[in-house]
Amino acid sequence: MTRIGVWLVGARGSVATTAVLGALAVRAGAAERTGCVTERPEFAAADLPGLGDLVFGGHDVAGTHLAKSAEPLARSGVVPPHLPVAFAEELDAVDRGIRGGVEPRPEGFARCHVDRLERDLREFAEREAVERVVVVDLSSTEPPPAQTAELAEPDLLEAALDAGTARVPASSAYAYAALRAGCSFVEFTPNAGPRPPALAALAQELGLPWAGSDGKTGETLVKSVLAPMFAARALRVRSWSSTNLLGGGDGATLADPDSNSNKTASKARGLEHLLGHPVDGPLHIDYVPDLGDTKTAWDHVSFEGFLGARMSLQFTWSGYDSALAAPLVLDLARLAAHAHRAGRVGVVPELGFFFKDPAGSDAHGLMEQWRALTDWCSEPAHGPAEGDERR
């Protein structure tokens, strides 16, 4: 059986822990596949790698053991309390394969930094004897990157790395290393990762697929079906106000106004696309430590109907961020491996279904994205031979 390596950047965080623990539990028959999109019948024809074929590793700047990371998740109802106990051994094995990550470097990254990351990936691929590796970025939200020359031009990026002055965000350093190691890349956060021109050009040159960005796990998911509803009914949305309360690790990061602005910008772009015009209304992301991994979002939509009648829709979404994101991480790992195997190069717009800010696509409506995704996955799969050539 072909094994697929899944390398998680931020491997000790809540989402990664839930994804790894969940994959172990599902594989062992100890949990159901609820929330796994690629388990739906629409994906049967694509012959995707199985959940049981995924092998996990990753980078993290933190040293907390995976079993320790699972504790608050068990306490707050994200994962059943017996699971971390039942899979302690397997968690430990994955934990031993996690390597130290890189911290942001305002003064710039050097060649040696990215080389080390690349080496970690190659060693993982070899040790685990996997067919190919997908790198998924689950690290903390970064502030929007400065528009440096080395992000714009591949040659300048190489030169800056040689000089030790490559002012790129850590996410892009990981993306660089992943591509150099021959891995596909999934940007699950709002971070830059593989999106700046210099990185996108590198993926093209090396013949590797990538997808992103910012996993669509909660409030934006709901927006992506409600906004097309208003549009199809010719109802005019006058204001759309959103408040997001969250208390997990991501919440703490977003308390930093710089990172917050990256996230809110990503959310706002989608709504404007969906409605076809800019729309008024605040968008808040608030850190409320007490709420833990729960994410509560309230949206208030004021709209106008026939003869100017004023009406409203409001909704409250209450979900566990990690429980919503984790199965998508597994879906994306399987789909990125599929794209890689099929010889896809560059951004894969069909994966926009999973993202708030879909790279390579202007489609933000969920159902439109669903059609693009399932159309792609219902095509007869290309053989691995073709994919390998390009690799």
* 281 contributes a contact to its own copies by CB under 8 A: yes
| Interface mask toward its own copies for 146-185; x: CB under 8 A | ----------------------------------------
Region class of 75: left (phi > 0), else alpha (psi between -120 and 50), else beta: alpha
Task: Give the Cα separation of 23 and 40 in Å (integer).
Answer: 16
Determine which residue in the list 28, 258, 311, 379 makes contact with its own copies, applying CB under 8 A: 311
* 234 contributes a contact to its own copies by CB under 8 A: yes
Determine which residue in the list 54, 135, 366, 377 makes contact with its own copies, applying CB under 8 A: 366
Q: Which amino acid is at 203?
A: A
Determine which residue in the list 64, 165, 204, 241 makes contact with its own copies, applying CB under 8 A: 241
Shortest Å, Cβ 184 to its own copies = 23
Q: What is the H or E stretch that residue 271 is in?
A: helix 257-275
Helices (H), the chain: 14-27, 66-75, 82-86, 88-96, 111-127, 149-152, 154-163, 170-180, 197-206, 219-232, 249-254, 257-275, 321-341, 366-378, 384-390
Determine which residue in the list 225, 258, 378, 388 makes contact with its own copies, applying CB under 8 A: 225
* 257 contributes a contact to its own copies by CB under 8 A: no
Task: Give the Cα separation of 24 and 32 in Å (integer).
Answer: 11
Q: Which is nearer to its own copies, 39 or 120 (CB)?
A: 39
Q: Which is nearer to its own copies, 8 or 161 (CB)?
A: 8
Residues 41-80 that bind its own copies (CB under 8 A): 77-80
The conformation of residue 53, written as its DSSP 8-state character, comes to G
Task: Give the Cα separation of 78 and 169 in Å (integer).
Answer: 31
Determine which residue in the list 47, 367, 378, 383 makes contact with its own copies, applying CB under 8 A: 367
Shortest Å, Cβ 359 to its own copies = 20
* 85 contributes a contact to its own copies by CB under 8 A: no
Task: Give the Cα separation of 327 and 335 in Å (integer).
Answer: 12
* 2 contributes a contact to its own copies by CB under 8 A: no
Residue 276, Cβ neighbours under 10 Å: how many?
10
* 131 contributes a contact to its own copies by CB under 8 A: no
Identify the three-state secondary structure at position 293.
coil
Shortest Å, Cβ 164 to its own copies = 41
